Amino acid sequence: MPSESILGIVHQNKIYCPPKVYHVIMYGWALLGCPETAQTYFDKISTLTSPSPNSAGSRSGVNQTTWGILMYAYVCARDVRGALHVLNRAKAWIQDKSISRSARAVIDESDSDGHKTNHLINMAMAVLIERKDPTGALTLLDDYIDKYSNPQRAPDTAQTVQELPATSADPITLNLILRALLLNNQVQHAVTIYDTIHSEFRLLEKPDALRPLLRYYVQRNDLDGVFLLTKRMFNLGGIPTLKELFYMVRLSVYERNPALILYLYDKMGTSTTLDTDSKFIYFLKRKPDMVPLVYWALMENGREADALDIESAIVKTVPRTHGDLQVLQPSTPTQRKAAAAREAHGRCITLYRDLLREIDAFPLVELRRKLRYNVRFVFELYRDLEPHNPLIVQLLDDGKQQKKWLRSWRNDPDGCQLVTHNSPAMADPAERNK
């Protein structure tokens, strides 16, 4: 390796090489996932002494940065045992430094110049979480957590440090705590811990700290939890990322509840980005397959004007005067075809949701499963039709008639039972097989 050759020349000429040089080389080996080689350079640093008695005397070159890089090497190699071994060695090193010194003095020193031992705990927790051991990560934090990290609790100045100076108030540590609890499906406990730590340590809450909880709720299809956290994020001055918006819009449509989409549109429809588009329009331009879903949500709530605003913003349009009204139309055949496809898609989605909603209110519960199956089968059967196929219009009209037919039986369950009683064509296949 070229760096080793250069170091050999430096040593031959008896030139002092500061620990920072070894740190850079150690970090390179850490990125390659070679903890054994990183340990070799760690050993070399431990034998270094400063040539100037005024700067460091005969003190070893090992510091918290050296321990952090060595730990990172084991993390990159996903070696849990090695990472925990480094953590125990670092603890012994901290205790050796803190002999006859107060706990607060060591903690203050660890906070100086941006160096903290908290990152050692963080990396050990991260590798445990990566190996799907959240309980081990939380237990590790409990074992090493600093009892003096809370500024509201002054430590005994005569007491020495017995743990690594780590605190759950560190943003990265808090994020790892949430990840571990969520991996254990302890979402309510995670929210309680999040609020407790922010309150106890008087931390300034930031929108990014809510993202692990938001991702968990999205993955669990918990629309209510997503809605609450989204409101909380907006109140803190943050906005969802494009990826989060994508999954939230899909979840809202999946749950047949457009309230979240409308909230996002109202919150982000007026704020602008550098290209003068609203942030929500910018999202739709980046994710054009979301346009029909948003269009459906707006039309479902009678917001035709907003739906047309989306159409005019996404598709480049030119004004054409028609009587006293100004009609916006796509300017090219390709754009007109795309607009027609989105409109047909939006109408199909609306009809599909309407039919499922009517089936949920159908008086005969035992037939609902079969009716849902029929609706899904028909939509799957014709899903590959071209947007300009005239059959789509006919199918949509037939679907509207079927929706009226389903609604007509709401107030006549007895008549519905009489018409469908013992009808093999309408019976559930599962019932016929019994």
Could you read off the pLDDT of 64-80 as tens digits, one per residue? 788 888 988 998 898 88
* Separation of alpha carbons 213 and 205, rounded Å: 14
The full DSSP string for 202-224 is: TPPP-GGGGHHHHHHHHHTT-HH
pLDDT given for residue 173 in this prediction: 80
| CA distances in angstroms from 222 to 25, 216, 245, 250, listed in the order given | 47, 9, 15, 12
pLDDT given for residue 155 in this prediction: 43
pLDDT given for residue 123 in this prediction: 87
pLDDT given for residue 103 in this prediction: 44
The full DSSP string for 76-97 is: HTT-HHHHHHHHHHHHHHHHHH
* Separation of alpha carbons 360 and 39, rounded Å: 65
Q: Closest by alpha carbon to 216, among 187, 255, 253?
A: 187
* Separation of alpha carbons 311 and 290, rounded Å: 12
* Separation of alpha carbons 35 and 40, rounded Å: 9
388 backbone dihedrals φ, ψ, rounded to 5°: -90, 5
Residue owning tokens 């980046």 = 286
pLDDT in tens, the chain (434 residues): 555 666 667 666 666 677 788 888 888 889 988 999 999 889 888 887 655 544 443 445 788 788 888 988 998 898 888 888 888 888 787 777 655 444 445 445 544 433 455 778 888 888 888 888 888 888 888 877 654 444 444 444 334 444 455 566 677 787 888 888 888 888 888 888 888 888 877 778 888 888 889 989 988 888 999 999 999 999 998 888 888 998 998 888 888 888 999 999 888 865 544 444 567 888 888 888 788 888 888 888 888 888 887 877 776 433 333 333 333 344 455 655 666 666 777 778 888 888 888 888 888 888 888 888 888 888 877 777 776 677 887 888 888 888 888 888 877 777 767 666 544 444 444 444 44
Evaluate whether 175 touches 212 at the Cβ level (below 8 Å). yes
In the three-class reduction of DSSP (H, G, I as helix; E, B as strand; rest coil), residue 158 is classed as coil
This prediction has a pTM of: 0.55
Six token digits for residue 407: 């609604």
Six token digits for residue 29: 């080996």
328: left (phi over 0), alpha (psi -120 to 50) or beta: beta
* Separation of alpha carbons 307 and 86, rounded Å: 59
Torsion of CA 424, 430, 433, 434, to 10 degrees: -110
| CA distances in angstroms from 10 to 4, 82, 162, 391, listed in the order given | 10, 31, 40, 81
In the three-class reduction of DSSP (H, G, I as helix; E, B as strand; rest coil), residue 311 is classed as helix
pLDDT given for residue 145 in this prediction: 66
In the three-class reduction of DSSP (H, G, I as helix; E, B as strand; rest coil), residue 326 is classed as strand
pLDDT given for residue 303 in this prediction: 86
